[in-house]
Each structure stands twice: as C-alpha cells, then as structure tokens.
Amino acid sequence: MALVDFHGLVSLYKLAPSNVGSTTNPSRPPPMPAPKPIRPPSPSVEGSQPRPTKSQFDTPKRQSRFVIHSAPNSTPIAKGSSIRQKQDVDTDDGGKYNSDDYRQFIIQDFERHRVFVGMDDFMKQVLHVPDDWKSQWAEAIKEVKLNEHFDACLSAYSEKCGATGFKEDALYGPLVKMINSLLEVTCKSTVDAVKPKTPQRFIRNDPQKLYHGVLDKANLSPDIIALHEDRYNKLKSEERENGQLDTSFITWAHPLQVLEVKHFNTALVDGTYMPRLRMKEGCDPMSNHAESTKNSRHPKKKDAPKESASAPPQPVSQAVKRPADESSGTSRKAPKKSQKSTPGGASAATEGKTHQVLSGQLVASPRTVETDRQKEVYVQIGKYLLEQFSIPAFRSHATIGLIDRDRIQLYHANRSVILVSSAIKFTSNDKGDGLDKLIAIMIAFTRLSLCDNGILHNLTGSKLFQDNQQLVTSNEKSKVLSVQKGRKLELEKDGKSLTLTYGDVISHEPSLVGRATAVLHATSPKWQDKDLVVKISWPGARRTSESEFLKKAIEEAKRTPDQWAVNHLPGLLFDFDVDFDKDSTHGKVASMLEGAEFVETEKEYKYERRVLRILVQERLYALKTLTDVKEIAQVLLDIACIHWWLREKVGILHRDLSLNNIMYRRINGKVYGVLTDFDLSSWTASLTGDYKSTSQQRTGTPPYMAYELLKGTENLHLYRHDVESLFYIMLILASHHEIHIPQDMKKEAGGVRMRPDIKRLPYARWFDQPLYEALADAKYRFLRDPAELDLSPSFEDFRDWIESIQSSFQKGLYAREGHKYRLQDFQKSRNKQSGASGVAPTFDGETLGGHVGYSMLIDSARGLRGELEGLIVRYDTTPAGVDAADA
C-alpha cells in the first residue's frame, strides 16, 4: 500500500476553509503534529491521557480487587463470561487444553463475581434447608449424633485433624467414612422430613481422574465426590468396600457434590476482599466465620508457588481465548468521591497508586491480599466448578465443599454469581452448632431434587432434559463430543411439542459466569429433510432475545427482491426460554441478592438474572471448512452486506462480529455468507447518547473489538465500530491462517487452519493482552501508523482489500485530528474577538469524516484482482445510473 505523508494530510484538513467560521485565518500555518504516534483520544477528553510505557504492554501488573467505575450502572465486557474461546476459527474440535491457560480468567471471575454470605443464608437459599430446620430436623440430627458408628467415625476424623506431620490424603478415608455413616442413619430415620429424594454416597476419587472435562488434557482429580446411589451400586464391590474409586469410568456428569480437602488450616477465605451480604439479623457474615484452631501446629508442607505483588498475570495460550459477553452484571460501587477523574484517568482518592484496566474498568491498588495459598485453593475450586459445567446442556449450577481439617466452606456458581459461605467448625469437641449444621448440610444434599442439585432435568413440569438423569447414573463410556449423542430433548410451547435427538457436540463454551453457549447437532421427525442444530445458552434475562431479533429480520428479509436477505440469516425453526421460578435454586439466589444490603457500600454486587434459552436452527457451516479463497472472500462480503442491511432496514446492530459468528450455507453449489449469534445485538433506536444505559453500549470479543469500545463504556457502539471488527476479522484470518487442501479429501478434511510456518503469529498480543486499555492503544497505533502486513500466502489476494480499509481508517483518524485543531483555532479566534460571528467546524464522527462506512467496504471489494476478481455485492446502495467509482 502506497502511504502518503499523513502528517502533511492533517495540515491539509486543518487548512480546509469549508466549515470554518469567518474568524479563521487560513493563511496562518497550523502547528504540525508530533512525528510519533499519539495516544488515542480518551472517551471523555481527546488525547488527555499520557501514553502508556512499554512496560504496561509487556508486564501488566496484577489486578486489584477494588474497582472504580466510570459509570456506576455500567456493564463491562464479560471477559470472564466464557472461558473456552480460541483466536482461530477452529472452535469446534472438542479438544481439551492445559488448565494453566485458564488460570488468570478463573482468578478474574472469582475476583469480580464472588459474594460472601453467611452459612445460614447459604444453607437456606442454595441447599433449600427449611427455616425451622433446627426443630424440624432435630430428632434426625440427634439420631445421628447418638449413633455409635457415626460417633466412632467422627472421633477418628477429629483425632486425625488434631495430629501433625501427615499428608492431605490421610484425611480422605476417615472423612468419607464419617459422612457415609451419617447418611446411613438419616436414610433409615423415622423422621420423614429428612428422607432422601436423591440418595447418594460419598467416595474417595483421588488419584483417579474424571473424564469428559474440557480444562486439562490429563483430566482433573477432585478428592471426594458424591455419586447417585444407582451409580454407586454399579461400582465394583471392592471400590465400595474400600471407599475409593479404582478403575471405574467416572465422568463430570456423575458427581452430585464435590469435596476438596486441605490440611493446613489456612485454606478458607473470610470474605474480607469481596462483597459481603448482610445477614437477616443485620450482622456481617464474617462474624459467623469459624477461624482455624488457635495455636494449631501446621504440618510441614512446602508452600504453593509464591506470586509477588507485581507479578504479571499468567500468559494466555494462543489456543484458548474468552469471548466477551454482555454480562458481567457486576457493580462494585465506589464512593462518590472516587468518581472524580484525574487527568490520568484515576480517581482523586487513588491518585499516585498503580492503575490498570480490568474488563474495561479502572482498577487500583491495593491488590488482593488473600494469601497465595488461599488463591491457589480457590483457583482449584474454580477449575472444578468449571468442569461441572463441561457437559453441554447438562448443568445449571454447581456446589463444592472446601474442607480444611475441621472446618467446611461452601462454594456455589450459577452463571450469574459465585457464592462463598462463611465457614463452620464441625469436630466432636466443638461447643457450637457446627456439627449440627454439617449434618444438616449432608441431609440437604440428599433432599435436593436432581434439578435443585443443578442437573437440568424435567424442567417446567415437563419432560424437558429428562434424559439427563441417565447421564447421572449411567456407567457407559463415550467420547466427549458424543456424551449427549442419542439422548432426547422434548420441548413444548403454545400447545406445540417438538422432540429432538442430540448428535455430536459442535461447540461448547463452559463458563462460571456468562452465556456458556453450547451447540449440538440434532435431528427431529418434524424436519426429517433438514440438518439441524440446537443452541443452548444462558443470556441475561433483561436482554432482547436472539429469536426476537431473528424473527423481525426474517420477516423483513422476505420482502427483499428475490428474498435475497433470507439467504444470509440463520433459519430459526423453534425457540424456547426457561425462566426459573422463585422456589428454584436460581430463583432463591436471585431473591437473596437482588436489592440486597451489603456490609460495605463501596463493595456491592449487581446480580443479573439469566434465562435458559434453546434455539433450533438449520445447520450452517463454519468458515474454516472452505478451501476456496474466493468463496471465503464472498462470505465476508456477504456479511458486510447483510450487516448493513440489518442496520438500515431492520434497525438491528449486531455488535459482536467475530470469526466464530460468520458462517455460510450452500445453495445450488454457491456459498452465501450467514451472520449468526444475535445474543448481544441491540435495536439501533436504543443506542443513544444516554450513558446511563451503558450496558447496551459495550459488547464484543476483545481481539475483534473496536479500539474505542475497549477504552471505556462512555463510547456509543456505532456502525463504524462493527466495520472495524470486520476489518480485524479479515486481518486475523489472512495473517494467522492458511488454506489447506489435502491430497485425499476422503481421508482428510481440508479447510482453513493455523499457519504452521511461523512461530509467533502477527498481532498475537491482541489475544494475550489482559488489559483492555493496552489492547486499545495497540490497535489505535496499528490503524493510525500501519506497518507492512504479514499475510499468509493463501490470502495474499486479500492484501489490496485489507490495505484499502486500513487506509480509510487512517485517513479518518487524521481527519478527526485535523478537525480538533480547526475547532481549537475557531475557539481561540472567538475568544480573541469578543462577539465575533461564525459557524463552528463540524465533523461526522459516525463515519470519521466520511472515510469509514458501508460504501468504503464494498467499493474496496469491487476492483479486486487475482483470485478475488468478480465478487458479488448482494446489497448495492449505489443509485441507478451512477458508476460505483463515482458514487
């Protein structure tokens, strides 16, 4: 691309007499910009913030727990909303990855989404323990405590807890015996109120692995798990006798509960560094937190690896990335005084401290001061919670118990929040009610239905997800992509019923908080001639549903000439939403947190309800499966066309363009690009300058997001921002990938794959960078002062197209700089000449002065040569009789 001197071009823009008032003196030469790239304009004051140092790009500091919002009601990009997202187009291979790749994202989810609650509230809302359990279950609890076998098991465990110099696994056996002896008593109890609804038994799992997870190539190994009695009875007799798994095939669909055991008395957190929900009695849940035994001698054990306060987050593998989501739902409200901005973007209250950006929010020291050991433990808990969500279309929530010698703390994740309970002490010599609560917790586990245990099963009083019970009790072996294959999904809506049979998993994005979208192949007797997919996700309940956008778009598309637009939209066949009622676990947790009172007003949590959404669509095909570069280019051009048509004719702005949302269908041998995934879309009428509605403004997948949106929630999401995303898609596709055509297509599938000829991919840091501010700066410099593009040989014919778009952005950015100088000149002239008239210069920010828009996208594609010559523009807005080059 031949680049002109754009520093000089800025001068030309500044000297342009049009739109400049009569007070402007065009003969005075304006000051030239500095030769080095400037920092992109701040969301509130253009160019007011200093450029970051190099160290901010290379070694980002560890994020703090204290968040200062630029807008109190903002919904930041949910970088933690989906933990499995890769930068390349191969997102549906069903592979498993090293769990270290997810470490920093689990930490971010925990630091942003944890809420500390009292154990009493946890028991009542999450475990459905009745308010009067102390009286209603009193007789059963007494039976347990008087049982000789239980008493002996409890004493043995308590004795082991008081010892020193033992390894952690020495606690597993005694703990399993104690809990199972407790359950044996309650199962035979004469108190009907404690009779089990979901009978289960605990068993030692460590060192055995659980299968069908997604986090670790070697699979993870929780210490103790609870199996449904029907699955427990299928174990080998020696496994049941020994209380330990040996060779049985256990998947992450089997555990009803998971217990992680520690033995160093310092593993549990006390809620100091997270929002704390005030208990009904008005007290702080920390007041009920059972501390470790005073002066206890800790076993000699090497500490977990230390992390210094300035240690950078662990780098993210290029193969594993998290998409942004509409939802973090958090609002850690800062005191009003911290809303005041300093020139560097910091609050006055924290001026002079280390500042970074986490998920688009300013974060400031002091850092999280939970110990490294506690951090290692809760990261481990986070991995287990995530693995419990690894089976697609299976779980709505999960609970894990963390036991540190004689204390237990419970964790709960439900895609909206991560609850952490205060701890209780339960050994035989404890004088409090901790032992009674432990017994009540174990009773509650067995009293929960499968659905309340977190297993999607017989929802809405129908047979919805009925077959999931088979996964809980089955001992059959299957591949991870086929774990749901052959099972039924029965849907009923408006008197109509639909039965689907699952096929293989196409893609799955398990997450602790967020949409966690899963897509599976499916078949149905109703559409025997159609290849179907079922999409199951957890979007925010307050957002417009994807089906509503699609129904409106399809309705309008049928009115287009030859219904051309229909070919570029997903074929929606059936949609179904499940909203959990107030008596469900989701409903109880929501009721507890919505409008709740927190102990510290500067640390609050804004809870976001979610719905379970099921869409049945015609199957589309991933861009990665194409082997013809012109077909790939045609798909991308089709996306540009349908995206603009949706904005102009239907009033829908997509707002989440990424490689994974671009698909295609083939009709009569020709490819047609299809824009998918409208979960984060908005009606253009709702995208206004009202910054109080910032949850509607910032969405997207970070590596493909416009740099302005990465900088802060004040920026409106414009059409131009989606154009920038499409540009990054083309750039990443052409620079990171090659087209592979195998010699024998019958033995090996061809398509787009990662370049094997290069060690460090261009723009790889866009995927590694955890700080949005730094990512925004990198993108701005790339647009403003472009370097030579390193494209794959397979996509060399994309060069002119990509460089043309890049040049348009560059011209637009310089034009905006020129406008800023003209505006400054105008204001200076008015100040010098009091009462002088004139019209202030204007600038079209939507299109960067007319440089960036739909016509730029399609016009740059018209004249392409080589393999890309002759691309078809499906939606041509050039007036009839006007040459496109002159339009």
Mean pLDDT of the residues in the chain:
80
The amino acid sitting at 848 is L
Mention every residue, 6+ apart, whose C-beta is less than 8 A from residue 441: 123, 127, 129, 401, 408, 410
pLDDT of residue 87: 38
Mention every residue, 6+ apart, whose C-beta is less than 8 A from residue 93: none
How many Å apart are CA 257 and CA 448, to the nearest integer? Answer: 11
Q: Are residues 729 and 814 in contact, defined by beta-carbon separation less than 8 angstroms?
A: no
Structure tokens at 884: 């496109």
Alpha carbon distance, N-terminus to C-terminus of the chain: 23
pLDDT of residue 216: 59
Q: Of 506, 308, 261, nearest to 406 (Cα)? A: 261
Kindly report the backbone phi and psi dihedral angles of residue 66, in degrees, each rounded to the nearest multiple of 5, phi listed first. Answer: -95, 120
Structure tokens at 147: 């049982």
How many Å apart are CA 885 and CA 876, to the nearest integer? Answer: 13
Mention every residue, 6+ apart, whose C-beta is less than 8 A from residue 369: 273
Q: Are strands 751-754 and 737-740 parallel, antiparallel or unpaired?
A: antiparallel
Residue 553, CA distances (Å) to 14, 574, 617, 638, 711 in order: 43, 15, 15, 16, 31
Count CB neighbours of 685 within 10 A.
Answer: 7
Q: In the chain, count of helices (H) and strands (E)?
A: 22, 24
Give pLDDT tens digits for 12-37: 333 333 333 333 333 333 333 333 33
How many Å apart are CA 193 and CA 215, to the nearest integer? Answer: 39
How many Å apart are CA 90 and CA 320, to the nearest integer? Answer: 11
Structure tokens at 537: 């996700």
How many Å apart are CA 89 and CA 734, to the nearest integer? Answer: 12
pLDDT of residue 366: 36
Q: Are residues 120 and 434 in contact, defined by beta-carbon separation less than 8 angstroms?
A: no
Which three-class secondary structure state does DSSP give residue 116? Answer: strand
Q: Are strands 114-117 and 418-421 parallel, antiparallel or unpaired?
A: parallel
How many Å apart are CA 96 and CA 315, to the nearest integer? Answer: 18
How many Å apart are CA 623 and CA 620, to the nearest integer? Answer: 10
pLDDT of residue 377: 95
Give pLDDT tens digits for 230-246: 999 999 999 999 999 99
Place of tokens 């979208």: 517
Q: Which residues share a beta bridge with 321?
A: 85
pLDDT of residue 714: 52
Place of tokens 């080589």: 866
The answer to whether the peptide bond before residue 770 is cis (omega within 30 degrees of 0) is: no
pLDDT of residue 733: 97
Q: What angle do CA 702, 704, 707 make, to 5 degrees?
A: 75
Mention every residue, 6+ apart, whose C-beta is less than 8 A from residue 510: 82, 83, 84, 214, 386, 387, 389, 390, 516
Give pLDDT tens digits for 241-281: 999 999 999 999 999 999 999 998 899 999 999 999 998 87
Dihedral of CA 3/7/8/12: which sign? positive
Helix, strand, coil tally for the chain in percent (to 5): 35, 15, 50
How many Å apart are CA 848 and CA 864, to the nearest integer? Answer: 24
How many Å apart are CA 656 and CA 698, to the nearest integer? Answer: 10
Q: What is the mean pLDDT of each run of 10 residues along the chain (887 residues)?
A: 37 34 34 36 34 32 29 32 37 50 81 95 97 96 96 95 92 97 95 95 96 76 97 96 95 96 93 92 88 47 38 36 42 34 28 33 43 92 93 95 97 97 88 93 97 91 86 86 89 90 89 91 95 95 94 97 97 94 95 93 90 96 95 98 98 94 96 96 79 42 89 78 96 96 82 90 86 90 93 96 97 95 88 74 94 95 94 83 41
